[in-house]
Amino acid sequence: MATSNRAWKREGARLTSRDKGDTKVAESSSGRQTPTRRPLPPLARLYIYALHGLFCEVAFTAVFDCCLTFDPRLPGHTSLWALLIYGSAVFVLEDLSLWLNRKRCPLLARMILYTLVTYLWEFTSGFLLRLVGACPWDYSQFQYNFLGLVTLEYAIPWALVSLIAEKLLVPYTLRLRLES
């Protein structure tokens, strides 16, 4: 039987690092070959994270706009740039959350760090997109904005979204397997 080359293990409910997987075919006790299951490659995880972010953006803007305009149609909106921005941000958060959990960093400290990283990511991507005239958001109308690219009014939603990503999105995505 082929041995698994797993670099992660679960300790209780805490995922401590990423599974690198083993793509070898295992032999059963009867000598038959059975397919092995390997983790999703990075591009597949990036794809899942991008689609998740895009969906959350549309849902958030629909609910936020409904609260302001009372429009029951919930016409959410986003930009295709959100695929790249959210996909890459959660991909970075994946490694960060695994590292922080291995270090047994307290939940509040993790949420604050995730929120700061999110703001840095949003500011950087917005700044770069603004350079080419493609930034799809402008927070200038918010009281606590910085250059219209980030706003403190979104700190709590960003912290909550980061917590959901750490507790649900990243662990469940890392558990997905492909059969070979």
DSSP the chain: -PPP-----EETTEE-S------SPEE-TTS-EE--EEEPPHHHHHHHHHHHHHHHHHHHHHHHHHHHH--TT------THHHHHHHHHHHHHHHHHHHHHHTT--HHHHHHHHHHHHHHHHHHHHHHHHHTT------TTSTTEETTTEEGGGHHHHHHHHHHIIIIIHHHHHH-EEE-
**Measured distance CA(131)–CA(112) in Å, rounded:** 29
Amino acid 38: pLDDT: 86
Amino acid 123: pLDDT: 97
**Measured distance CA(88)–CA(105) in Å, rounded:** 23
Amino acid 12: pLDDT: 37
Amino acid 54: pLDDT: 93
In this prediction, the residues of the chain whose per-residue pLDDT falls under 70 are: 1-34
Amino acid 179: pLDDT: 83
Amino acid 7: pLDDT: 42
What is this structure's pTM? 0.75
